[in-house]
Amino acid sequence: MNWKSLLTSVGLVATGAQALIRFPCAQLVTERLDPLVTPGQVSPHVHQVIGGNGFNITMPLTGDLAKEATCTSCKFKENRSNYWTAILYWKHKNGTFTRVPQFPNHLTGSPNGGMTVYYIQPTNRQRKVREFPKGFRMITGNPMLRQRKAVDATSPEAYASTFRCWETSGFTDASNGSPPGAGRYDTVDLPKKRCPAGIRANLFFPACWDGKNIDSPDHTSHMAFFQGRVDAGSGIILMEGTCPTTHPVRMPLLFFETAWDTRPFNNEYPTDGSQPLVLSQGDPTGFGHHGDYMFGWEEGKLQSAMDNCFDLLGLPDSCRQLAQQPDADMNKCVQPTRINERVEGVILPELPGCNPIQNGPGQATMIRDCKALSTTGFGNPVTPVPPISTVVPLPPTQPSPPVAGPAQTRFGQCGGQGWSGPTQCVAPYACQATNQWYSQCL
């Protein structure tokens, strides 16, 4: 987002009351796991995970990510939290799918994919926020939704998940100027038209805590969105709001941005008006976008950042309380996938898991007789779910067609089981193995 115009639009430049930290995190791993919603099992759909390498198939409440992780894909070293969201695929005219690549968001350096994470404070600086307690976790959004959430359109919750359609790529350009969720470039559903310079997903979490529970059965009811009427011109990013009495404790407002590079597909847009973009849960509407959070900061570090870092742009350099690492080290912190299936880097005949496209408007349903690798359901799975260690590997997939050209460009695939494309990278990048199935020019 273009902060100057945002701050001007909400009249905060003069008061200097805004405060936040904003930092990039590269992709740690992309696979079908969700230790929050389906612990110990293969998740029904694919997520991109960022943050510490303590990410695991199960993540008990008693765990301490700050100690378990040995690296993080995030800019600040103290941040061993994990964050994950659905990923975006492009549906080709012949019905096959390709993961939509990502590119660095504005002013974030050169992370390899991932997201930009924000921890935002209330505009009133007298009002202290509390850091999340150890073991804290929550989700935002509902993957099964296929229509606009039935909440008051002026409420903060109505602004929680939106998509920015970038017309041009400059930081100060008009289509980057308005705050997330506000202005004429954002929609609650996936853009229905070509966005010439890509799309940015904006995802806010609720910021009011019940003060007691670090989790809840649905992973959301221990949290609530703050209340108040949203100014349509400024959205909720720097909104003060009030916490409901049931959830009185104001926490940092957690916000993710994901920058999708749809430009490679700009000439492939269907002419029949159909939506070629689809989230990994088989959602072509975008209403089912969702995100998960597991707090994993070293104790007191986030609190210290919230109490002391009051930069206009939230730039990491201005937060001396926290230690940074170079982009190369962030990009080096990766995990091998644990699920034996390919979810990116090749053209897929169908979405991983059993995720046929469901347009809604009714809630999506789980496929009952899913034959995909050890799937689970919201509801009772029809077949018993084998524990992860006994997952039967899929038969080898057909090798993908070779990609023309002698050398792969940055972030392109350059190796992995079944890969027959280029294995050399253009200078100065080197081919690095992310896992058995995927090597990348980094």
Q: Which residues bind ligand NAG (CB under 6 A)?
A: 53-54, 56, 68, 71, 77-78, 92, 94, 96, 298, 323, 347
Looking at beta carbons only, is 50 or 366 nearer to ligand NAG?
Answer: 50
Q: How far apart are the first and last CA of the chain?
A: 26
Inter-residue long-range contacts of 265-268, CB under 8 Å, 24+ positions, other chains counted: 265/90, 265/100, 266/194, 266/196, 268/90, 268/92, 268/93
CA-to-CA dists, residue 251 to 133, 137, 243, 254, angstroms? 10, 13, 10, 9
Minimum separation from the CB atom of position 96 to ligand NAG (A): 4
Looking at beta carbons only, is 77 or 149 nearer to ligand NAG?
Answer: 77
Q: For 389, which DSSP code? A: G
Minimum separation from the CB atom of position 308 to ligand NAG (A): 14
Q: Hey, what's the torsion of the CAs at 237, 2, 143, 214, to 10 degrees?
A: -40
CB 157 within 8 A of CB 149: yes
Looking at beta carbons only, is 356 or 361 nearer to ligand NAG?
Answer: 356
Minimum separation from the CB atom of position 286 to ligand NAG (A): 22
CA pseudo-torsion sign 237, 240, 241, 245? positive
CA-to-CA dists, residue 396 to 4, 337, 368, 412, 417, angstroms? 52, 16, 25, 22, 9
Looking at beta carbons only, is 219 or 332 nearer to ligand NAG?
Answer: 332
C-alpha–C-alpha distance, residues 62 and 76, integer Å: 23
Looking at beta carbons only, is 125 or 338 nearer to ligand NAG?
Answer: 338
Cis amide leading into 24 (omega within 30): no
CB 436 within 8 A of CB 418: no
Minimum separation from the CB atom of position 77 to ligand NAG (A): 4
Looking at beta carbons only, is 36 or 71 nearer to ligand NAG?
Answer: 71
Minimum separation from the CB atom of position 335 to ligand NAG (A): 7
Minimum separation from the CB atom of position 190 to ligand NAG (A): 20
Looking at beta carbons only, is 323 or 382 nearer to ligand NAG?
Answer: 323
Counting Cα atoms < 13 Å in the Cβ hemisphere of 298 gives 14
Minimum separation from the CB atom of position 388 to ligand NAG (A): 9
Minimum separation from the CB atom of position 76 to ligand NAG (A): 8
* DSSP characters over 282-349: TBSSSTT--EEEE--BPTTHHHHHHHH---SS--GGG-TTS-B--HHHHHH-----SSSS--SSS-BS
Looking at beta carbons only, is 82 or 178 nearer to ligand NAG?
Answer: 82
Token representation of residue 186: 């954002």
Minimum separation from the CB atom of position 227 to ligand NAG (A): 36
Looking at beta carbons only, is 78 or 283 nearer to ligand NAG?
Answer: 78
Residue in the structure block whose two tokens are 């103290």: 78
